[in-house]
């Protein structure tokens, strides 16, 4: 990170990243003086080159995450138009040709890409580097880009990825999303507070299990009648606290908070489906492989998958636009989960734990299908066997 004095704070060279302590971080003063007990990272030159080129960038992350290295070694960049969210968070991706690690020449080629206004760069036969207005912004971009790369890789294992056009993305961004009106007074009964804790616990669990990333994902739970609690917009999911959750009562939002942009969709589903008491909307890498290729997610793989999910439908991109009822129409007791192309998965259920279980089963089913692609052709369980399950379990 670069601070207001122009001093750069950087991780040390040759110290185990798994046990880093704050005191291990090295400060490189503006005049080049080094303060700290270690040597700064050998990649300091290109960090400095980025800060010099783009004064708005205050944090830089460089690493060798496997999916992005896969792109780096076939000498291609991932097309972030694969997912609306990846495009919004990462923008277009730059490409820096191979130069000796730690050399000023490496700094020149990377800074040359950042100079174009690009915030994320694939480094040829090396890895990736992303910048942000602060560390959290840079981390969200880094995590989202690796996620995007995984989605494309898994997508090619089950089909051919379909990319959004810039026009698709512009049209989505230009739609006017009305903000729910603010309520005048708010109360927090104990059953309301319990739901806040429950939602937070599930968000953190989803992040830990790779079922949510820090910059994307919404969880809501019905509270009373059609009133519900929902995660906010623009709070990193890893850092979410119970007091960040937003109460929605009589169609109005808790004062001073911005609920998820999909609040209207959650409201519509709760109004239409009295049996649904919780909703998770997220992106997971294996499910997104199906949502971006149009390959059918056939969950008739093992009895558990079909019992938990029955059949999972796929809806066109834009199905969750404001004013559309496609998702609320499609969801039912027999179809608790839907995929929205190039966007997300939406899972519903009674209690939040049930909805979470369904999400986990859906992602594991998708993962088995992706992994099986290198072994042979999947043989699903038959209609007869499905009917036998229906009779036994429903
Ligand atoms: Zn490196």
The pLDDT value given to residue 318: 86
The pLDDT value given to residue 162: 97
Is the per-residue pLDDT at 172 higher than 90? no
Angstrom distance (rounded) from CA 206 to CA 151: 18
Ligand 1 center to residue 90 CA distance, Å? Answer: 20
The pLDDT value given to residue 42: 95
Ligand 1 center to residue 332 CA distance, Å? Answer: 48
Ligand 1 center to residue 115 CA distance, Å? Answer: 20
| pLDDT band with cut points at 50, 70 and 90 for residue 153 | very high
* pLDDT tens digits for range 99-131: 999 999 999 999 999 999 999 999 999 999 999
Mean pLDDT of 206-210: 95
What's the CA dihedral at 204, 239, 241, 150 to 10 degrees?
-40
Ligand 1 center to residue 97 CA distance, Å? Answer: 13
| pLDDT band with cut points at 50, 70 and 90 for residue 322 | confident
| pLDDT band with cut points at 50, 70 and 90 for residue 98 | very high
Ligand 1 center to residue 109 CA distance, Å? Answer: 14
Ligand 1 center to residue 150 CA distance, Å? Answer: 20
What is the share, in percent, of the chain residues with pLDDT greater than 70?
A: 100
Ligand 1 center to residue 127 CA distance, Å? Answer: 6
Is the per-residue pLDDT at 324 higher than 90? no
Ligand 1 center to residue 1 CA distance, Å? Answer: 17
Nearest one of 305, 322, 202, 326 to 264, comparing CA atoms:
322
Ligand 1 center to residue 321 CA distance, Å? Answer: 40
Is the per-residue pLDDT at 355 higher than 90? yes
Is the per-residue pLDDT at 321 higher than 90? no
Ligand 1 center to residue 63 CA distance, Å? Answer: 6
Ligand 1 center to residue 31 CA distance, Å? Answer: 25
pTM higher than the cut 0.75? yes
The pLDDT value given to residue 279: 98
Higher pLDDT: 334 or 189? It is 189
């Amino acid at each position: 990170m670069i601070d207001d004095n122009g001093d750069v704070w950087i991780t040390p060279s040759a110290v185990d990243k798994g046990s880093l302590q704050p005191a291990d971080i090295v400060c490189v003063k503006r005049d080049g003086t080094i303060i700290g007990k270690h040597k700064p990272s050998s990649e300091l030159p290109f960090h400095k080159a980025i800060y010099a080129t783009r004064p708005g960038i205050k944090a830089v992350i460089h690493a060798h995450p496997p999916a992005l290295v896969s792109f780096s070694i076939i000498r291609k960049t991932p097309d972030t138009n694969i997912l609306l969210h990846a495009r919004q968070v990462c923008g277009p991706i730059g490409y820096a040709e191979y130069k000796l690690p730690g050399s000023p020449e490496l700094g020149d080629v990377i800074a040359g890409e950042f100079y174009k206004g690009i915030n994320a760069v694939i480094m040829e036969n090396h890895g990736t580097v992303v910048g942000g207005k602060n560390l959290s912004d840079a981390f969200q971009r880094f995590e989202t880009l690796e996620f995007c790369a995984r989605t494309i890789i898994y997508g090619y294992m089950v089909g051919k990825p379909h990319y959004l056009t810039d026009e698709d993305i512009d049209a989505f961004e230009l739609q006017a999303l009305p903000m729910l009106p603010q309520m005048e007074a708010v109360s927090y009964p104990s059953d309301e507070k319990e739901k806040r804790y429950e939602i937070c616990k599930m968000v953190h669990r989803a992040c830990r299990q790779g079922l949510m990333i820090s910059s994307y994902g919404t969880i809501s739970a019905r509270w009373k009648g059609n009133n519900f609690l929902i995660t906010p917009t623009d709070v990193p999911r890893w850092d979410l606290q119970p007091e960040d959750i937003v109460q929605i009562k009589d169609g109005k939002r808790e004062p001073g908070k911005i609920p998820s942009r999909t609040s209207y969709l959650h409201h519509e589903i709760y109004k239409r489906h009295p049996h649904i008491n919780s909703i998770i909307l997220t992106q997971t890498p294996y499910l997104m492989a199906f949502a971006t290729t149009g390959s059918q997610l056939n969950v008739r793989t093992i009895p558990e998958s079909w019992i938990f999910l029955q059949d999972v439908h796929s809806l066109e991109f834009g199905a969750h636009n404001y004013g559309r009822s496609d998702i609320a129409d499609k969801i039912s007791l027999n179809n608790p989960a839907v995929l929205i192309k190039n966007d997300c998965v939406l899972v519903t259920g009674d209690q939040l734990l049930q909805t979470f279980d369904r999400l986990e089963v859906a992602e594991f089913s998708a993962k088995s299908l992706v992994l099986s692609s290198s072994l042979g052709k999947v043989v699903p369980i038959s209609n007869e066997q499905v009917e036998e399950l229906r009779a036994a379990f429903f």
